[in-house]
Each structure stands twice: as C-alpha cells, then as structure tokens.
C-alpha cells in the first residue's frame, strides 16, 4: 500500500513498473518516490544508520531516512530477491554522490535482501541475470 502525500488516500500496488500514478483520491499525479509507503503489512521497517549503510559520512540524514523508507518499500513490493536488487540499484543511483552505489553499500543492500527473502544472491546477481538473457 502506498499513501498519497496530498490527500492521504492509500492505493494498493502490485508491481514496480510505473514512474508516477494518478491518485484515486485527488487525481493529482504523484511521482512514485513521493508516495508514502504503508509498510506494516508485511515488512519490518528498514532503519539502517549512516554507519550501517557505509555511505559517505557527509550524507544528509534526510537521505538516509528516505533510502531506508524506500528500501522498506522495495522489499514489500518486489517478489524476488533479484528484482528487489535491481530495483534497489536503480533507486540508489539517485544517491550515487553519497556513495550509495559503492561496493560497500551494494553489499549492505544485498545482505538486507538476502535476509528478507532468505536468499543467497551475490551483489552482482541482477546484472549477471541481465547478461544471461542477452
């Protein structure tokens, strides 16, 4: 479930292949990154500290908070660990200036995914699978 930041209407979503949605409550177009995520259904909230993420030390706390929130969301909506990883990397690209795509952060993200899905993928898994498909 995601919650509209304008009117608070919640919408159930089943996949991640959209970039913006028009809210069913107020008809405003909302970018997917601006939706609040309702996470209590299935996912425990991800709440890693700056140190745990191993991103750069000058990363603003707001960024950490947003990344944690979005990561919780990814775990909630993605059905497979590889999809979650792919989605996570695509998202973390926004924060590349704070080191979120460095190998340390990718490993942290992958560890989290493995823990949640009880899987055992490595941090290149989603890229490897794309190569195999080609």
* Least distance between Zn ion and beta carbon 9 (Å): 5
CA atoms within 13 A on the CB side of 29: 3
- Residues near Zn ion (CB under 5 A) are 4, 6-7, 9, 23, 25-26
Both tokens of 76, joined, read: 């909630």
Q: Find the shortest distance in angstroms from Cβ 74 to Zn ion.
A: 22
Residue 129, judged by CB atoms within 10 A of its CB (0-12, 13-18, 19+), counts as middle
Q: State the Cα–Cα distance between residues 109 and 67, nearest whole angstrom.
A: 11
Closer residue to Zn ion, CB minimum distance, 23 or 74: 23
Nearer to Zn ion, 21 or 101 (CB): 21
Nearest distance from C-beta of residue 130 to Zn ion, angstroms: 35
Q: Which is nearer to Zn ion, 4 or 74 (CB)?
A: 4
């Amino acid at each position: 479930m995601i919650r509209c930041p304008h009117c608070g209407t919640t919408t159930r979503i089943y996949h991640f292949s959209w970039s913006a949605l028009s809210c069913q409550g107020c008809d405003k177009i909302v970018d997917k990154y601006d939706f609040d995520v309702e996470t209590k259904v299935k996912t425990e909230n991800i709440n890693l500290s700056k140190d745990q993420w191993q991103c750069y030390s000058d990363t603003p706390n707001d960024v950490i908070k947003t990344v944690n929130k979005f990561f919780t969301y990814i775990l909630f909506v993605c059905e497979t660990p590889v999809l979650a990883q792919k989605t996570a990397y695509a998202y973390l690209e926004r924060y590349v200036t704070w080191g979120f795509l460095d190998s340390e952060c990718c490993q942290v993200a992958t560890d989290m995914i493995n823990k949640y899905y009880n899987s055992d993928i490595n941090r290149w898994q989603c890229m490897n699978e794309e190569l195999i498909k080609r």
